Amino acid sequence: MREWADVDAYLEQLFPPDDVLLGANRAAHEAGLPAIQVSAAQGRLLTLLAQVHGACRVLEFGTLAGYSTICLARGLTGARHVTTLEIDPAHAAVAVRNVEAAGLADVVDVRVGPAAETAARLVEERVEPFDLVFVDADKPSNVRYLELSLELTRPGAVIVVDNVVRGGAIVRPPFDDRAEGARAVLERVAGDPALMATAIQTVGDKGYDGFLLVRRLP
């Protein structure tokens, strides 16, 4: 475990977060937010995924202090837009300040409330479809978030669901509600012929986990 963290520290020296991202983490710590944001390497991956996909519009379930939000926004092209959903008003307030400090206030829309409810309102509003979705909110609701993501994207869109390995808990019964949520979304995606997907295990300073990468087939 310690070696994983040491490798992450080495990689972070090679590919360091800039002052804006460091400031976002500092603001989160000072506000007493839980240290559950994506790692520097994972944040960089989100930026690269957005760039490689050529995404213009992103939907994010779970904002926290806005670290991943900033990373996603930085990878966008064209008429950039991120809608990010956060249940906790205190977390959302920190995220808004961090987004402003990053110079992305005109790109990011932070919506406060239970993500399933705010996403359902986006469906009702018939918003323009999103190109990329990042799901990193309460794990028992993963399948609901996936279903809403499918309603809010077009074929060809990419959906990333974080924390789907949970230190191996997904194969160690009895399953807690978070492991059940991870298993449910993995099995939901695996059984859908309209989706192409893979799940990747990860290790690092955030521990042993993994993510689900999904593409809606054209």
The residue type of 107 is V
**Which residues form the domain of 109?**
2-216
What is the SS3 assignment for 94?
A: helix
**pLDDT averaged over the chain?**
97
Residue range 201-215, pLDDT digits in tens: 999 888 899 999 999
Average pLDDT over residues 137-159: 98
Position 181 scores a pLDDT of 98
Q: What domain count does the chain have?
A: 1
209 neighbors 202 (Cβ within 8 angstroms): yes
Which amino acid appears at position 137 of this protein? A
CATH assignment at residue 139: 3.40.50.150
> What is the C-alpha to C-alpha distance for residues 48 and 110, in angstroms, rounded to an integer?
22
Predicted pLDDT at 1: 67
Res 95: pLDDT: 98
143: pLDDT strictly greater than 80: yes
DSSP-H helix ranges across the chain: 2-14, 19-30, 40-53, 67-74, 89-101, 115-125, 142-151, 177-190
Q: What is the pLDDT of residues 10-25, one digit of tens each?
A: 999 999 999 999 999 9
Is 75's pLDDT higher than 70? yes
Tens-digit pLDDT profile for residues 165-193: 999 999 999 999 999 999 999 999 999 99
3-state secondary structure of 19: helix
